Amino acid sequence: MNEREPDFYAVLGVAPDADAREVARAYRRRLREAHPDTRDRLSDGAVSAQAEGLQPINQFGITYAGQVGYHDYDGPGLRPEERKKFVAALGDRKMMFMRNHGTLAWGRSIAEAFTLMHYLERSCEIQVAAQGGGALALPPQEVIARTVETAQGVGDASFGRIGFEALLRRLDREDPTYRA
């Protein structure tokens, strides 16, 4: 960790070796503490139930083309035989729609995972809103391919840090008690 980068684990109140579930619980707890009016998002769950999944109708939806895995719902929990299918569906991707359930994102840092999930959720919100207005206007395949080629894989391990640090600064201004 460099001198400029905050210790995101400390911000969330978890140990650096915390597992994904601990980090997710801490994130949700801090989010609810900072924003008591927070409600669960519904748009990512709605898109997870759509047969065609995430559509390339906005820049992030386009950028994520081919980078989102899909895993069919098979009941609560992961049975041992289901774990192999889950891992195969995720592959080398950092995001996945768990059909009829919700979304998953992971990153090389909390900041990267947060950024990926934030823009995945935002893309879902845009898609659900746009679908209420009629047929979707999809960009031509060559535009999608060019955008994907330009945008994917350009981030290093610090991807997401700038946006996440900006969010922390905003929280510090609006309600610094989330650090308590």
162 pLDDT tier (thresholds 50, 70, 90)? confident
Quote the pLDDT of residue 1. 47
Name which residue leads in pLDDT, 19 or 109.
109
Residue 52 confidence (pLDDT) above 60: yes
- Looking at the predicted structure, is the pLDDT value of residue 37 above 70? no
Q: Which two tokens stand for residue 89?
A: 């569906």
Residue 145 and residue 142: Cα distance in Å, rounded? 5
Mean local confidence (pLDDT), 144-162? 74
Instruction: Tell me the domains of the chain and their CATH numbers.
Output: 8-179 (3.40.225.10)
pLDDT of 42 above 70: no
CA dist 24 and 161 (Å) reads 18
Give the mean model confidence (pLDDT) for residues 168-180: 85
Asked if the model's pLDDT at residue 4 lies above 80, the reply is no
Q: Are strands 102-105 and 95-98 parallel, antiparallel or unpaired?
A: antiparallel
N-to-C CA span, the chain? 22
**Whole-number average pLDDT of the chain:** 80
- Taking CA atoms, 154 is separated from 33, 64, 149, 172, in Å, by 34, 13, 9, 29
Lowest mean pLDDT across 85-94, 126-135, 147-156:
147-156
**CA–CA dist 149, 80 (Å, integer):** 36
Whether the per-residue pLDDT at 158 is higher than 60: the answer is yes
- Between strands 68-71 and 95-98, the pairing is parallel
pLDDT over 90 for what percent of the chain? 14
